[in-house]
């Protein structure tokens, strides 16, 4: 995430210090979130890092710079690693599980890279969107939140063993 902050600051056309400050603030928040441990701080740190990159992209005026692929992947990997390390506080993984999880994480990172590359390519082909697409996007967000809420509510089920 520090890399994201520095990369964002270096590539920004203006407000580089603000981008860097936002990125470094996110890194510090992540460090605190992992050390405390504090889940909202981790979420805020990840959001802060994304905001830092978004600000950098805005200063350049482009729709979505190519570096977004790396930034999105890095943010995702940072989030996965953060929650993985939080799990290790209660019960550390066995060595074989550790290796498997590392391989799984690498696979997810590659998946994220491919996904964002594909999405970026698609966005580049059809940039701009429109009111209809934005309305569909907003509805999708609301739907996603509602779906997750319902699933979490249905949580405490106790099937027979």
Residues near another protein (CB under 8 A) are 39, 42-43, 46-47, 50-51, 53-54, 57-58, 63-65, 68-69, 71-73, 75-76, 79, 83-84, 86-87, 90-94, 96-97, 100-101, 104, 108, 111-112, 115-116, 119-120, 123, 127, 134, 137-138, 140-141, 144-145, 147-148, 151-152, 155-159, 161
Q: Shortest approach of another protein to residue 137 CB, angstroms?
A: 6
68, 116 contact by CB (below 8 A): yes
Q: Shortest approach of another protein to residue 21 CB, angstroms?
A: 19
Nearer to another protein, 97 or 106 (CB): 97
CA end-to-end distance (rounded Å), the chain: 44
Q: Shortest approach of another protein to residue 28 CB, angstroms?
A: 18
Q: Shortest approach of another protein to residue 34 CB, angstroms?
A: 13
Nearer to another protein, 17 or 88 (CB): 88
Q: Please list, in sequence order, all residues whose beta carbon lies within 8 angstroms of the beta carbon of residue 38, skipping any fewer than 6 positions away.
A: 32
CA-only gyration radius of the chain, Å: 18
Three-class SS state of 15:
coil
> Tokens representing 106?
């690498």
25, 41 contact by CB (below 8 A): no
Q: Please list, in sequence order, all residues whose beta carbon lies within 8 angstroms of the beta carbon of residue 74, skipping any fewer than 6 positions away.
A: 1, 3, 4
């Amino acid at each position: 995430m520090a890399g994201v902050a520095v990369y964002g600051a270096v590539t920004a056309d203006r407000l580089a210090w603000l981008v860097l400050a936002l990125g470094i603030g996110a890194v510090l928040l992540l460090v605190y979130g992992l050390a405390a441990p504090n889940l909202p701080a981790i979420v805020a740190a990840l959001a802060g890092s994304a905001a830092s990159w978004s600000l950098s992209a805005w200063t350049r005026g482009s729709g979505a710079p190519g570096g977004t692929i790396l930034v999105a992947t890095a943010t995702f990997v940072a989030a996965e690693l953060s929650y993985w390390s939080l799990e290790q506080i209660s019960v550390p993984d066995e060595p074989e599980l550790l290796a498997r999880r590392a391989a799984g994480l690498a696979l997810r990172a590659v998946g994220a890279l491919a996904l964002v590359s594909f999405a970026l390519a698609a966005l580049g082909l059809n940039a701009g969107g429109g009111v209809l697409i934005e309305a569909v996007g907003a509805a999708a967000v609301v739907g996603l939140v509602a779906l997750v809420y319902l699933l979490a509510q249905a949580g405490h089920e106790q099937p027979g063993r």
